[in-house]
Structure 1
Amino acid sequence: MFGIHAKGVYPIAPTPFAESGEIDWASTDRMVDWYREIGATGMTILGIMGEAPKLDGSEAVEFATRIIRRAQGLPVLVGVSAPGFAAMRSLARTVMDAGAGGVMIAPPPSLRTDDQIVGYYAQAVEAIGTDIPFCIQDYPLTLSVVMTPKVIQRIIMDNPSCVMLKHEDWPGLEKISTLRRFEAEGGLRHVSILTGNGGLFLDFEMERGVDGAMTGYAFPEMLVDVVRLSAEGQRDAAHDLFDAHLPLVRYEQQPAIGLAVRKYVLKRRGILASDAQRKPGSSITPAAKAEVEYLLSRLARRDPRAAKLV
């Protein structure tokens, strides 16, 4: 269930494109079915990794609606960030009417002061409606907006419709501990915390008190297993599995080409028919592909799922 007690893994879904640049609907359906089969708790669409700014308004609605229907009750969180509140409200209301579980709002890069950030979220909530549950996206490495724990505390406490934090600050382990301390001391109501950054720090983030992951690694099964093992107290097993995937996780986290790497691996796994991005987009060189193939071959020695390629 999407809400303050949400746990597990909400993979950030890419938007599948054909070589022509059109949305690949067959790959979209296959991807949604796959997320359900591997044990994802929900999924997140139209995020940064989903190339959301490259879709026009009607495409975003059609894509979101199709996924929500295909998900058959699996909670879908929809990114609705937009330069203006009119577009944000329109998309948010439309996807909620279609059955979305909630929306995710990222701060615009122009925000600098604490009061500006808190004020922006108050205005965003006023625009979309207080009845829509929303997730804060805290991603300073890309968005250049730095939210301190105190700022996040203010946003959560000021807006009852805030039910989740997508935490992907880096380094961010101490921020997680601080937020959970605020909660333990009675200064912060509980919200779900899911983490991003490609899962790069998921092993210790789980131990700091997060509820799961919301990211786009090409082997989300690993994220599902690490979250489960950590919750079960199987610390060594969780770290062993995580460590086996870490070289590929790290490679995927390279700025500029990370999405290209991820889509390439998803194509090799048979989930996407093409690794194309809608222009403007990046691509990986033959040398980079060879490095990814080497990493996949090494990973297959420790996780047989990496050997099942097409």
Structure 2
Amino acid sequence: MSLDPGVWGVLATPFSADGTTVDTGSLARQTKHYERIGATGLTVLGVFGEAARLTPGERRTVVETVAANTNLPLVLGISALDLDDVLTEAANVVPAAADRLAGLMIQVNTPDPDALGKHLAEVADRTGRPIVVQDYPVITGIPIATDDLVRAVAAVPQVVAVKSESSPSPPAVAALVAGLDVPVFGGLGGTCLLDELAVGAAGAMTGFSVPEGLLACVSAYRRGGFDEARAVWRDYLPLVNFEFQSGIALGLRKHSLVRRGLIAFDAVRTPGAVPPARMLELLAQHLGQTPGVELRDDVLAG
């Protein structure tokens, strides 16, 4: 078993205006939008979803809300690295996903391939759930050699996909695709999506405020290969790159979602930062030049 190829949208977690509570109405609206535009599945409680900044109760609320508002399969992100903490997080959210659960996204927690393989196998055995391995060293602080990641993943039959976010990602994706029998998805906000597809990625699993662009690029690649996908993707790439700014990326994306009417407020939790006003002005210019984006005049936040 493996995850279906395509675009697995990574959901933002909307908050109230003051950032203190999860805005379940906005979360439901965002969830339904992904299903309406044709996403393959959804990734909940990822980095884009600020999962590490949510309480256990909030995480459960997020998963319950998403599961109640979609028929799409769900990948649930687990932020913890230590085995006991991973199992505690999983026990909290797995029941909320019910039959929607397609896999638990587990972080690379060691550069040692044997130790990582043992960890992944233990999580799979103890939870009884499929595993999606996320390699995101900028977030975890734990780099692993690509050959070692291949070795670790190949030893665990319960792994159903890899999300590769080790920069530069195209060489990593190429090596993972060559060495594994499970799909490999790109992330990093879509910044390398075209090249990841060219070296064999199964699609995208990432946060972007205009996921229609991810879908358009992946669909074009399937139809006409690199040239057709490049022609489509170039209209979205300026916004992709603009949103992927260290420190304010999440604030930019949430503001984009507000401008699109998909969430009500653009509040982020610390250490996320509110983008400067000039960046929000530039964001509006980018959005205005992005295909298929309709902006709201009655912005509720920002």
Structure-1-length-normalised TM-score: 0.88
Question: In 2 relative to 1, CA 242–118 (structure 1 residues): closer, same or farther, beyond 3 Å?
Answer: farther
Q: Contact 1:195–1:202 (CA<8 Å) still a contact in 2?
A: yes
In 1, the alpha carbon distance for the partners of 2:177 and 2:62 equals 35
Structure 1 pair 89–239 and aligned structure 2 pair: CA distance change class (3 A): same
Does residue 87 in structure 1 map to residue 66 in structure 2? no
* Match of residue 170, structure 1, among 156, 167, 172: 167
Equivalent residue, structure 2, for 1:125: 121
Identify which of 73, 76, 81 aligns with 2:74: 76
CA distance in 1, matches of 2:177, 2:86: 30
Q: Distance in 2 between matches of 1:307 and 1:59?
A: 31
C-alpha separation in 2, matches of 1:234 and 1:18: 42
Maintained 8 Å contact 2:189/2:207: yes
Give the distance between the partners of 2:81 and 2:204, measured in 1 at CA: 27
Contact 2:251 2:274 in 1 (8 A): yes
Shift of 1:294: 1.6
Aligned position for 2:151 = 154
Once the two structures are superposed, residues 96-133 of structure 1 have per-residue CA deviations (whole angstroms, 9 ceiling, x without a partner) of 3323211101134xx4xx42x54145224314526311
Query: In structure 2, how many angstroms separate the alpha carbons of the residues matched to 1:293 and 1:66?
Result: 29
Q: Relative to structure 2, which stretch is displaced further, 6-15 or 150-159? A: 150-159
C-alpha distance in 1 between matches for 2:64 and 2:251: 25
Give yes or no for the alignment of 1:4 onto 2:2: yes
Letter in 2 for 1:34: H
Q: Which residue of 2 aligns with 1:138?
A: 135
Question: How much does 1:90 deviate?
Answer: 3.1
Equivalent residues in 2 for 1:29-108 (5 A)?
29-72=28-71, 74-97=72-95, 98-99=98-99, 100-108=101-109
| 3-state SS in 1 of match to 2:289 | helix
Equivalent position of 2:12 in the other structure: 14
Partner SS for 1:129? helix
Tell me, yes or no, if the aligned pair for 1:93 and 1:128 is still in contact at 8 Å: no
Could you say which residue in structure 1 is the equivalent of 2:289? 298
Which stretches of structure 1, 4 residues or more, deviate above 3 A after TM superposition? 93-97, 307-310
Cα deviation, residue 179, structure 1: 2.5
Conserved 8 A contact 1:46-1:80: yes
Q: Is the 8 A contact 1:200 1:246 kept in 2?
A: yes
| Paired position in structure 2 for 1:205 | 196
Looking at structure 2, the residues matched to 256 and 78 of structure 1 have their Cα atoms a distance apart, in angstroms, of 24
Q: Which runs of 5+ in 1 are unaligned?
A: 183-187
CA offset digits 1:9-34 (Å, max 9, x no partner): 01111111011321001001101100
Matched residues, percent identical?
A: 30
2:176 counterpart residue number: 179
| Aligned residues: CA RMSD | 1.9
- With normalisation by structure 2, the TM-score equals 0.90
Q: What is the correspondence of 1:208-287 to structure 2 with a 5 Å cutoff?
A: 208-287=199-278
Give distance in 1, aligned partners of 2:3 and 2:52. 30
CA contact (8 A) 1:32 1:71 kept: yes
CA distance in 2: counterparts of 1:173 and 1:159, whole angstroms: 23
Given the superposition, is the C-alpha separation of residues 137 and 245 from structure 1 closer, same or farther in structure 2, using an over 3 Å criterion? same
Any conservation in 2 of the 1:263–1:276 contact (CA below 8 Å)?
Answer: yes
CA distance in 2, matches of 1:144, 1:86: 19
- Unaligned stretches of 5+ in structure 2? 298-302
- Shift of the 118–225 alpha-carbon distance from structure 1 to 2, 3 Å rule, reads farther
- Contact 2:132–2:161 (8 Å) recurs in 1: yes
Give the aligned residue type for 1:228.
S
Contact 1:88-1:128 within 8 A present in 2 as well: no
Aligned residues, how many?
Answer: 292
How many Å apart are 1:144 and its aligned residue? 2.8
Q: Residue 259 of structure 1: SS of its match in structure 2?
A: helix
